[in-house]
A and B are shown apart, each in its own frame.
Chain A
């Protein structure tokens, strides 16, 4: 696994601190969406289908920082929309780094080289560009519905790496993924020099244009088992090994929907990053008034039955690591041996 020690330490002390205070529900990663606008329209994305006047709006930096302070999570992920289209992305990232938040700027990297050349960002252990890469060139360009995006992303990643930035990848997998092709993709990303890769099965957004290729639970287990059965030592994953084991069917985790709370133009999204069942005006109200018992697989909620997405299950895996001996032992074993 490739998460830097300082980041692991920050997360570990944060989780243990929450437990010592008796908090059972706390956020781990704030999903901060400053805008919905994007320069792509990917087949599996249900995030950007809004009228033009909504797409033209964005949060102010002050609104973003207030949400970060209110939430208190040690990590901030900035998806969207395409965050590099956010006019104040440079200032926002600078402010977050100054607050010692670990920032994952989730980008398709089409604009990355241009923004780096414009001097918008400074390398920091707190900042990682998390580049959306859904596989090798053919698969990625198909997933994002535009030819040439893979090459643009690689160019942006190379430039970021050359300038000393942390670069990771985030990959969403659908049921047409080939385990062998994905293993070739892992090799290619490692050859590029990325710090680590993040994987997740896609979620069947009701608003996504392509509804046919979302993974069901058993297929997810089969795909990830084939892909990761004998992982090469050189493959580095920037995520919890227990979460990867969960995707392979070796762990059974329930969803932690409050683990990655989402803040955007509409407020604090209930109950999670994927489902939009309403908005709360404050984080406190989100935590106190959302009927959490109605979500997760065991609740029986249809929308949660096939979901194995990172935003709900990786927080469970992380909590398991830092709050149980078995979780800690399994994590250490996977980290040391590289076996999942």
Chain B
């Protein structure tokens, strides 16, 4: 697993230090659900799978957790993004599998072997 720390639980403030475009890029790369807070206060929870800044009105696209989508949301309507869902790419599943295999081997070996 990559040593990079998971963004799970991150609630960045949109500012000069973390611009909206940067936070959107991190959300796009994040393999878990996020909560998109709109300018009118509404919150959309779901998987943000695309973003496009190379158009006149930059937008993100997401599948909402309750099943609807894909929906497009202009950057201009986004106030904040929170990384609220479980990061499905985090965790060391390969190492965990190897550990489990070693443990099973050890358990099946005769004592003193």
Contacts and interface: CB of A to CB of B under 8 A. Distances in A.
Tell me, yes or no, whether A binds B.
yes
Interface string B15-37: 00000000000001001110000
Interface stretch (A121-129, A204-212, A229-237): A204-212
A295 B97 CA distance: 34
A210 B1 CA distance: 5
Contacts of A41: 93
Interface residues of A, number: 22
Contact of B50 (A147, A206, A279, A289): A279
A49 B88 contact: yes
Nearest to B66: A53
B94 to A, nearest CB: 4
Interface in A26-75: 41, 43, 46, 49-51, 53-54, 57
Contacts of B95: 209
Contact of B49 (A43, A145, A147, A279): A279
A193 interface: no
A53 B85 CA distance: 12
B49 to A, nearest CB: 5
A301 B47 CA distance: 27
A338 interface: no
A289 B55 CA distance: 11
B51 A278 contact: yes
A179 interface: no
A60 B106 CA distance: 47
A41 B92 CA distance: 12
Interface string B81-113: 000011011011111010001000000000000
A278 B52 contact: yes
Which interface class (under 10, 10 to 19, 20 to 34, 35 or more) fits B?
20 to 34
A246 to B, nearest CB: 28
A51 B97 contact: no
A289 B53 CA distance: 12
Nearest to B100: A145
Contact of B47 (A54, A210, A211, A289): A54
A147 B105 CA distance: 12
B50 A278 contact: yes
Contacts of B86: 51
A267 B92 CA distance: 29
A211 B67 CA distance: 33
Interface in A258-306: 265-267, 278-279, 289
A302 B43 CA distance: 36
Contacts of B52: 278
A54 B63 contact: yes
Contacts of B94: 43, 145, 209-210
Q: Which 7 A-B pairs have the closest CB atoms?
A: A43-B94, A210-B94, A209-B94, A207-B89, A49-B89, A49-B88, A145-B97
